[in-house]
Structure 1
């Protein structure tokens, strides 16, 4: 096997939720450039269709709200009308909510926990049959949960349910991996740091300022996300199971804390 082929996605079929913008769009674009056929899903049909048109004929729009179990099952059923198997599932759709502790509402808690934790589980469950159809331990299918460095370390904002949800999804990734590896399905997680997106408006609108707190002195770009996402989807990572790949320019693992001495 050529080392170049380790990262090829030629002939593979992928589904990326939240694929119409931000990190999801970056991942969809990267997979298409590596030869995959990519279905993208998002809650807003016009945005989903616009992105599919932009990314070309190997990108197919499947609009669906996956914030409920019914929505997850509906998306799986729609995909099954187009494909008899699925090689790669990227659980990227997510939400955040930031309100001071004293005012944090139940609605903000439930919305974030439902979309960020419940939906990846039940969408994977709904797609289990398609994921395992062509999977084997020699040629596994892949499930990639998009988590966050906020599931590993604290940020300074009042995003209580977001912190909890991403930490939960990182651990849920391990538990799902332990079950699905039996079917030749590898589950991993990708934890981004600062990438410009609708969810991370600080990185999008104040990138230069945010970069000052990142050891690499810049926010993440398309190539950074593409490299990590392609690695986890491709043959190159077939022996990586249940782990979380941190893509953050060193914030989690190479940033020194502050000293209280003196």
Structure 2
């Protein structure tokens, strides 16, 4: 391993499974010390065990500002600063227009927009000049998907944040980029309410629209996040990096 992140301190929200866990593992392999968050302590403990070293798990919900305050107090006490923030935590559930309830809207926006915003804002006092912020967006920010209008709207907001924050943080030389995964099956798909057969059919239907002919893996997204977190991307700022097999590009 090249140790592109040697000596860096990173935060990965929603780091207990899927893209978040894969990224945390990559960060550690590249030499970083990583803090991960998750809402459920059992899953958080299991993720820390899987990562194995140079990791601290902190239970919390990014939409709860008190949890974020406790998170950053712990990071400040244990490491004193942050070099990388991967604002990854997010939720999504397929509900078509006509059936959208206020609870669904609030939960999705509270996590994906409010939670992401305050994850970044509350991290700023700990972030060093030249640090890197990566926001987890989605191809849903530009491609219409049946029953995912609320989720897509939150990810469009995330993309907009990256543009504006690039300007807000320019004096500190902090880079802000968005990464937009395509179809990547993860344990997060459990919230869709699909049966095993329905999940299989969904993935296969998505693969038909991907030029590479297959869906992605969490580790493929993680490798792209490492690029945006490292000095390899030192002149990359404000972009939306699609890691989607070409799905949203045709």
Give the TM-score, by structure 1 length.
0.87
Of residues 73, 85, 110 in structure 2, which corresponds to 1:89? 85
Matched, 1:193 2:182: yes
Among 215, 232, 242, the residue aligned to 2:238: 242
Counterpart CA distance in 2 for 1:195 and 1:177 is 27
TM-score, structure 2 normalization = 0.91
8 Å CA contact 1:194–1:200 kept in 2: the answer is no
CA deviations over 1:70-108 (Å, ceiling 9, x no partner): 222222122222111100000000011322311210111
> Which residue is 2:139 aligned to?
149
Find the structure with the greater CA-based Rg.
1
Give the structure 1 partner of residue 166 of structure 2. Answer: 177
Q: Name stretches of at least 5 consecutive residues in structure 1 with no aligned partner.
A: 256-262
Superposed, 1:108-257 pairs within 5 Å as 108-132=104-128, 135=129, 140-156=130-146, 158-200=147-189, 205-206=199-200, 207-253=203-249, 255=250
- Give the Cα separation in 1 of the matches to 2:84 and 2:39: 20
Which of 41, 64, 70 is equivalent to 1:68?
64
Q: For the aligned residues, what is the CA RMSD?
A: 1.9
- Determine the C-alpha separation between the residues in 1 that align with 2:222 and 2:99: 38
* 2: CA distance, partners of 1:98 / 1:209: 15
1:23 to 15, 19, 24: 19
What's the offset of the Cα at 1:218? 1.1
> For each residue in 1:226-257, what CA deviation from the matched residue of structure 2 results, as whole angstroms up to 9, or x when unmatched?
3211110000111111111000000011x3xx
Could you tell me how far 1:208 is from its partner in structure 2?
Answer: 4.1
- Aligned positions, number: 243
Q: Does 1:104 align with 2:100?
A: yes
* Residue from 57, 60, 76 that aligns with 2:53: 57
What SS does the corresponding residue of 2:209 show, helix, strand or coil?
coil
- Tell me by how many angstroms 1:196 deviates: 1.4
Q: Would the alpha carbon gap of residues 235 and 150 (structure 1) be closer, same or farther in structure 2, given more than 3 Å must change?
A: same
What is aligned with 1:258? Answer: none
Does structure 1 retain, via aligned residues, the 8 Å contact 2:137–2:155?
A: yes
Note the C-alpha offset of 1:173.
1.1
